[in-house]
Copies of this chain bind each other. A is one copy, B any other.
């Protein structure tokens, strides 16, 4: 459809603006309108023209390119009984997807996420990765990834990219996990080429909390679009979404709520510090305070957590006090974070979600004590995302990248 005279040149990152950039921006603009329409709500070229404020002529041309790229498809004409020529529906191509993966302390997982952000299939494999060589874990995940790729092929699904989430600080450019204390990893460069056969597709590496925050973003009401996601796992991570974007900070490690100081005279933390939130509200800290510490040998963490729930249900003092203390400290940390980030919505995920009943009263009360002037507007939410949150977020973020630069797939 388009005549491409200027041949594919790698385009220097800080190239100046020329008319071609307008096309790139408008391709993304049209795609954003299509993606933004509520699922299953097919838009016509005319609808897109109205919503994007581009002319029908431009939209026709842009849509032609997007069809060629395979990112969208036409879904036949729509006779709605109205007068006039029927419209041709345009939707995101359901046969395109991105593979999301996660390495966590107790499991690895992988799944396929389509362009609308829907999880199509996934698989979670329990696996103790703590203190295991990173290469071995990657090999195991590679296995899982292959299965997913075969599943995709069987359904004629084309995989456009991949994302991996790990519970630690990462350096995306070098695919390196800088620190993952709960995995016992330090400065581990991951051979992500093993995870996706197609080498030219985009692959990204995320912190688990950031990935989960990105997944949570899909579930938020417009009024709560800016929020802090607090991931309570073995460690406590955080991911901040401001203005529909992840705020990652200069090195991409922003939002680390777990090491906010909540008790200046508190216990030593694994980070070397003292009185960090993690020392009170981390999974291990809660279990220990609830008398479910490592004393019980040969009992898995999952089993100990089950016992914690039982103890809470039956109203056993140590457990209830442990969680209330965690909630109070969570309130202190959240009060500070809300002030610093200027967000009013905080979403608790991971094991915090399951503790909502016992955690929320203490956290709310603590917030009222430490930040009464903002406690009124504060919205504390608990995430419905389970173990698939991180992989969905990682994949969806890559989807977002693709939808933002569709020109890469055009012509």
Report which A residues bind B (CB closer than 8 A): 12, 14-19, 21-22, 25-26, 29, 52-54, 58, 226, 238, 242-243, 247-257, 259-264, 271-275, 332-333, 335-337, 339-344, 369-373
Contacts and interface: CB of A to CB of B under 8 A. Distances in A.
A273 B369 contact: yes
A335 B372 CA distance: 23
A142 to B, nearest CB: 31
A272 B373 contact: yes
A203 to B, nearest CB: 23
A339 B256 contact: yes
Pairs of residues from A and B, 3 with the lowest C-beta to C-beta distance, nearest first: A249-B342, A272-B372, A254-B342
Given A12-B53, A273-B369, A249 B341 contact: yes
Contacts of A21: 17, 22, 25
Contacts of A54: 16
Contacts of A263: 264
A250 B222 CA distance: 13
Contacts of A369: 273-274
A370 B254 CA distance: 17
A251 B272 CA distance: 35
Contacts of A15: 53
A259 B335 CA distance: 9
Contact of A337 (B250, B264, B340, B372): B340
B260 A262 contact: no
A256 B340 contact: yes
A115 to B, nearest CB: 22
A375 B263 CA distance: 18
Nearest to A179: B373
A17 B12 contact: no
A342 B19 contact: no
B260 A339 contact: yes
Contact of A343 (B250, B337, B372): B250
12 contacts: A16-B54, A17-B25, A17-B26, A19-B19, A247-B247, A249-B343, A250-B343, A260-B336, A260-B339, A263-B264, A264-B332, A272-B372
Contact of A273 (B12, B53, B344, B372): B372
A292 B373 CA distance: 29
B253 A342 contact: yes
Contacts of A260: 336, 339-340
Contact of A340 (B53, B257, B344, B370): B257
A78 B52 CA distance: 49
A341 to B, nearest CB: 6
A337 B340 CA distance: 7
- Among A12, A333, A336, the most chain B Cβ lie within 10 Å of the Cβ of A336
A261 B53 contact: no
A162 to B, nearest CB: 25
A273 B340 contact: no
B264 A250 contact: no
A342 B22 CA distance: 34
Contact of A342 (B14, B256, B274, B372): B256
Contacts of A332: 261, 264
A255 B16 contact: no
A371 B21 CA distance: 45
A260 B238 CA distance: 17
